[in-house]
Amino acid sequence: MTKSNIALVMFIPAIIGIISRVPLSILSGRINHEKFIPFTFLIQLIYLIAYFLIQDPLLFYPIIGFSALAWSGFGPAAITFTITITPNRVRGTILGWYYTMSGFGQFLGPLILSILLIYLSLRSIFLISVFFPIIGLICSIALWWREKKKDLFNYITKKNQDSSKILNIHNYQKSLSRIFSNRNLLFLFMCRTSFFFSLSIFDILFSLYLYEILKYSPALIGILFSLKAFMSLITRLPAGVLSDRIGRIYTYLITYIFISSGFILISLHTTPLIIGLGVALIGSGQGMAPPIGTAFLNDNVDDRDRSLALAVYLSNLEIGKIIASASISSFIKYTSTPTFFRTSAFILILAIFLFVLGIRKKY
């Protein structure tokens, strides 16, 4: 697969995610988040079956676009529900656990896939993978049923219903206006966009750079990506705990120092040891950022706007991917891969500098 193909594969779900996140968040708020989450697993089930059935490779592109509806709807609903039932004093810790559990999937998924590919075709693996959204669908329906039945959580249902009166088709613009007039949230969105721009540059170019330019073996490349995934996994919970203890701003600053340092190392050195250190730093920062950023958002947003603010916040992922894909498509013929990495480091440093100086330190 060429760099242009990889950029296109990243671009399609990114643009669908940007378009769909806010409407899906509004829908989730109106019908109650616990009721909405099962629909996201149903979408996942449908697109995995579609991958199994398709014969024409061109159909892959609309299906991957459809798949974006699952995770663009799931993220705001699941995180909003998690925050709603979590005391503020341990919110960073709980979000650390939340993102750690999602990290397990990101870490174990490629590992299981590499084993299954030894014995099975890719088409068969798509069929087997249907098992996972079925489990998610059953568990999410059970969660909704429990929340409906248990008097202990009645206040949550009432709160979500009250929120749905705000997040409707007639006045959600007011909620967006409050969100985009919040100085701290704007700086957070800017930081998160720079974060995903840089990680998308890494995802698109790094493996090809190692294989084509540095002549690394596929096995060594696989080890480096496993190292990145492992570091991302083990740093999520400590980052959430640390943000509860020393504050979101300081831990966010540490996160961006890690990632930018990693990009500088992989852009200036070619030895596996130094490249590995850079990858470990990038993976650590990748794991630390989500729980810290999500907790910071919750600290600074009105309860009425939380679900919609999370949708905007999570859309920064797609915006960063689109900017990265467009940048690579436009400049790859004229710019070396190490230059892209150094540019990413510079953008990250600039973003966190503006964030630290620009926010109103109320929290």
Task: Check if the beta carbon of residue 214 is closer than 8 Å to that of residue 269.
Answer: no
Name the helix (H) or strand (E) containing 363: none
List per-residue pLDDT tens for the chain, 363 residues long. 555 566 667 678 878 888 888 888 888 877 777 888 889 999 999 998 998 888 887 788 888 888 888 888 888 888 888 888 788 778 788 888 888 888 887 778 777 877 787 888 878 888 888 898 899 899 888 877 776 665 444 544 444 444 444 445 456 778 888 899 999 999 999 999 999 999 999 988 998 889 888 998 888 888 888 899 899 999 999 999 999 999 899 999 999 999 999 999 999 998 999 999 999 999 999 999 999 999 999 889 888 888 888 888 988 888 888 898 888 888 888 889 999 999 999 999 999 999 999 887 654
pLDDT of residue 185: 93
pLDDT of residue 157: 47
3-state secondary structure of 198: helix
pLDDT of residue 3: 55
* Cβ count within 10 A of residue 41: 21
pLDDT of residue 29: 77
Task: Check if the beta carbon of residue 235 is closer than 8 Å to that of residue 107.
Answer: no
Task: Check if the beta carbon of residue 246 is closer than 8 Å to that of residue 298.
Answer: no
Using left for φ > 0, alpha for ψ between -120 and 50, and beta otherwise, residue 32 falls in left
Q: Which residues contact 287 (CB under 8 A, 6 or more apart)?
A: 99, 103, 231, 232, 233, 234, 235, 236, 239
pLDDT of residue 31: 78
CA distance linking residue 343 with residue 340, whole number of Å? 5
CA distance linking residue 144 with residue 33, whole number of Å? 9
Any idea where the domains of the chain sit in the sequence? 3-358
Q: Look up the pTM and report it.
A: 0.79
CA distance linking residue 244 with residue 248, whole number of Å? 7
pLDDT of residue 361: 67
CATH number, domain 3-358: 1.20.1250.20
